[in-house]
Amino acid sequence: MVLTGTVPKSLPEQRSRWPFFVCLALLAPVVAYVLVFKVPEWRNDEKLARLEERVSMFPLPPDTEHDIGTTIQGTVGLQSGNSNHCDYLVRMPVLTKLPDAEIARYYESAAVEGVEGRELSGTVYVNPSRSWKDDYKSVIVQFFDGFHDPGLDMRCH
């Protein structure tokens, strides 16, 4: 009997599996990063978006309107204090004919639901210069909801 070095055609060639494991090893840190750090950020961004929506739906006082060309601005992260908590800040620019004290009183008595259900009142900042619209003044109304559990959101540490 003579042994030959040929492989019978009926046996399939075995493929190397190292490219699969290399790709898996490169992909695993990316997936871990997204799960550990980005998912908490997305959750806090969603909480901020809901707070922005509640602020924008709060009725404006008489002789007040939204400032055209500007939008509500929201920020999540460490806004006050030193560390290890999440703060949510929403700013809404408006134009008003009301006296400073009256618009401040209106938003100080506001009851907007915060991130975790606590009622928030607004703080009013009046721009001392005139507005682009006659007889109106620019006002920034700010709602702050702070000192929430940061989780793994790195913006809050």
Sequence spans of domains, the chain: 18-156
Task: For residues 114 and 51, give the distance between their C-alpha atoms in angstroms, rounded to a whole number.
Answer: 6
- pLDDT for 45: 96
- Per residue in 81-92, pLDDT tens? 888 899 999 999
- Residue 133 confidence (pLDDT): 79
What tens digit of pLDDT does each residue of 17-28 get?
A: 888 888 888 998
Q: Which residues contact 119 (CB under 8 A, 6 or more apart)?
A: 111, 112, 113
Q: Using 50, 70 and 90 to split pLDDT, how confident is the model at 140? A: very high
Residue 127 has pLDDT above 90, yes or no: no
Specify the pairing of strand 86-96 against strand 73-77. Answer: antiparallel
| CA 71/CA 136 separation, integer angstroms | 18
Single-letter code of the amino acid located at 123: T
How far, in Å, are 15, 62, 133, 150 from residue 48 at the CA level? 50, 27, 30, 13
